[in-house]
């Protein structure tokens, strides 16, 4: 990817971050409360858990949602002062939708 393609880089970074967050396992607050210091887990990796694995369908839906979010935000930016930002959001959505073109056939 060219370094000058800022819209693509921005869209891919934020979408990858959203996918990474979706794979994270939530920590129950009850697990964190009420433990005395001497009862807390100790050692490297003592609190690590396996991440969730997203299905291909879930990933496609998340990418579609990211693209839709950008298109909705661009539609709300109607003032002439925001035209450049709206164009960038549309370009980011186009990048994400371009990646989905091949996955719909599968």
Cα–Cα distance measured from residue 55 to residue 65, given in angstroms and rounded to the nearest whole number: 15
Lowest-confidence segment of 4-8, 87-91, 99-103 by average pLDDT: 99-103
Q: What separation, in Å, do the N-terminal and C-terminal C-alpha atoms of the chain show?
A: 24
CA distances from 25 to 4, 17, 43, 54, 95 (A): 35, 14, 20, 12, 28
Cα–Cα distance measured from residue 93 to residue 68, given in angstroms and rounded to the nearest whole number: 7
- Judge whether 1 lies within some domain: no
List pLDDT tens digits, range 82-93: 999 999 999 999
List pLDDT tens digits, range 43-78: 666 666 778 899 999 999 999 999 999 999 999 998
- Judge whether 72 lies within some domain: yes
- Judge whether 95 lies within some domain: yes
Handedness of CA 13, 101, 53, 35 (dihedral sign): positive
- Judge whether 106 lies within some domain: no
Cα–Cα distance measured from residue 78 to residue 105, given in angstroms and rounded to the nearest whole number: 35
The structural domain count of the chain equals 1
Identify the domain containing residue 81 by its residue range.
6-101
Res. 106: pLDDT tops 50: no
């Amino acid at each position: 990817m060219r370094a000058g393609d800022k819209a693509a880089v921005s869209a891919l970074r934020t979408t990858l971050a959203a996918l990474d967050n979706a794979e994270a396992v939530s920590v129950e607050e009850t697990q964190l409360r009420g433990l005395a210091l001497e009862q807390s887990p100790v050692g490297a990796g003592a609190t690590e858990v396996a991440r969730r694995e997203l299905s291909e369908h879930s990933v496609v839906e998340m990418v579609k949602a990211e693209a839709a979010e950008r298109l909705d935000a661009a539609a709300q930016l109607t003032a002439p002062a925001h035209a450049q930002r709206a164009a960038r959001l549309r370009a980011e959505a186009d990048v994400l939708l371009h990646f989905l073109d091949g996955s719909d056939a599968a």
